[in-house]
Amino acid sequence: MKKTWIILAVIAVVVLVMYSSVKGTYNTMVTMDEGVSGSWAQVENVYQRRADLIPNLVNTVKGYATHERETLEGVIEARSKATSVNLKADNLSPESLQQFQQAQDGLSSALSRLMVVVERYPDLKANQNFQDLQAQLEGTENRITVERKKFNESAQAFNTYIRKFPKNIYANMFGFEKKAYFAAEQGAEKAPEVSFD
C-alpha cells in the first residue's frame, strides 16, 4: 500500500511539474504575441497619422501650385492605396507585410515628388501652415521609423522564444507561428549617387 502511495505521489509531482511548465510557457507566448500585436497597432497608428496629414498638405499645396495637378493626384491616389491595405496583427506573414510595405513605400515616393514640386514655389515654402504640416510630417516619418524598430524587436523576441527547445514543441501544439519583420527596401544597402552637374 505504501508503495502505491509513493508511485501516485511521484506521478502527481511529474504531472504538476509538466502542467506548470506548459502553463508558464503558454502564458509567456500569449503575452509576447500580444506584445507583437501592440507594437503592430503602434505602427498602424503612426502610418494613420501620416495618412491624416496628407489631405491638409495637398490642399495647402493646391492653393499655390494649381497646375501641378498630376503630382497632387498621385499623392492622393498613393494615400488611397496605402490606407486600403489592411493588415491584422494575427496575419503578419512575410507576404502580407511586404504588400503593406509596398503600399506605404508608394506613398513615401509620392510625397517625395510633392516635396520636389514645392521647391519651385518660394511663397508656399514660406507659408506657415505648410511649414507646420511639413514639420508634423517629418516628425511622423521619424515616429514610423521608431515604431517599426520596436515592432521588429518584439517580433524578434517572440520568434526567438517560440523557436527554442522545448518551447518550439509547445508553440507547434498551440499554433503559435513566427512573425514577419519589416525589411529595408531592396537596394537600400547601396548609397545613392550624388552628382552636382
Predicted confidence (pLDDT) per residue in 43-60, tens digit = 999 999 999 999 988 888
pLDDT value for 15 = 92
pLDDT value for 186 = 59
Average pLDDT over residues 169-197: 71
- Note whether 107 and 13 are within 8 A (CB): no
Q: State how far the Cα of 137 lies from the Cα of 76, in Å rounded to an integer.
A: 15
Name the more confident of 190 and 145: 145
pLDDT surpasses 50 at 107: yes
pTM for this predicted structure: 0.79
pLDDT value for 104 = 92
pLDDT value for 159 = 96
- Note whether 134 and 57 are within 8 A (CB): yes
pLDDT value for 43 = 93
Local confidence band at 196 (pLDDT 50, 70, 90 cut-offs): very low
Q: State how far the Cα of 3 lies from the Cα of 173, in Å rounded to an integer.
A: 35
Average pLDDT over residues 63-87: 85
Average pLDDT over residues 11-20: 91
pLDDT value for 191 = 47
What are the cell numbers at 153?
Answer: 524587436
Average pLDDT over residues 9-31: 92
The rounded mean pLDDT for the chain is: 87
Q: State how far the Cα of 59 lies from the Cα of 43, in Å rounded to an integer.
A: 26
